Amino acid sequence: MRVELVTGDITVQEVDAIVNAANSSLLGGGGVDGAIHRRGGPAILDECRALRAGHYGRGLAVGEAVATTAGRLPARWVIHTVGPVFSAREDRSPLLRNCYANSLRVAAELGARSIAFPLVSSGVYRWPKEDAVAQALAVLRGSDVPTTVEDARLVLFDDATRVIAQRLL
């Protein structure tokens, strides 16, 4: 799988699947979540509500991933994942890595060939940017990546984060 770093807005990425840094409610929020729902339109929230009324009655667990339509976004699907809130006391990095691994698994199940990730947990959830990039790249460049997904983009929202990621890549 090709992994590239992109600086910009995840909502304009022309890929099959865009990953949302959601929260367990799946009912929207700020940051990436807010941008995706705002640009993608109500169809996304409608499907999120249906998920909550069905299999995800208690919400989406941290580290898990589930797909909906992408509404008006250029992508075909939004894959919602819930990152862990950063903790200095306990190591939650396996949960953060699960976000990327499970999103890739869902993308493969959908038949998505290309996927764009935000830097999950590195905003409201306060994960330090450098380690957030390291965890993402550890999964995206790992050996057990599904073969059907050919292209992955890590979309960084600002140049400072891009510089950090470039150094790690």
Q: How far is the CB of 147 from ligand APR (least distance, A)?
A: 27
Query: Contact at 8 Å (CB) between 152 and 117?
Result: yes
Q: Considering Cα of 161, then 133, then 34, then 70, what sign does the dihedral take?
A: positive
Question: Cα(79)–Cα(57) distance, rounded to whole angstroms?
Answer: 18
The nearer residue to ligand APR, 17 or 155, going by C-beta atoms, is 155
Give the number of residues in contact with ligand APR, rule: CB under 6 A.
24
Q: Which stretch binds ligand APR (CB under 6 A): 49-57, 70-78, 104-112, 113-121?
A: 113-121
Is residue 118 within the footprint of ligand APR (CB under 6 A)?
A: yes
Query: Contact at 8 Å (CB) between 27 and 44?
Result: no
Please identify the residue of the shown chain whose CB is closest to the bound ligand APR. 29
- List all residues 6 or more positions away from 43 whose beta carbon is below 8 Å from its beta carbon: 69, 71, 72
Query: Contact at 8 Å (CB) between 21 and 83?
Result: yes
Q: 48, 119, 149, 154: which one contacts ligand APR (CB under 6 A)?
A: 119
Is residue 64 within the footprint of ligand APR (CB under 6 A)?
A: no
Q: Which residues are catalytic?
A: 33
Residues that bind ligand APR (CB under 6 A): 9-11, 21-23, 29-35, 83, 118-125, 155, 157
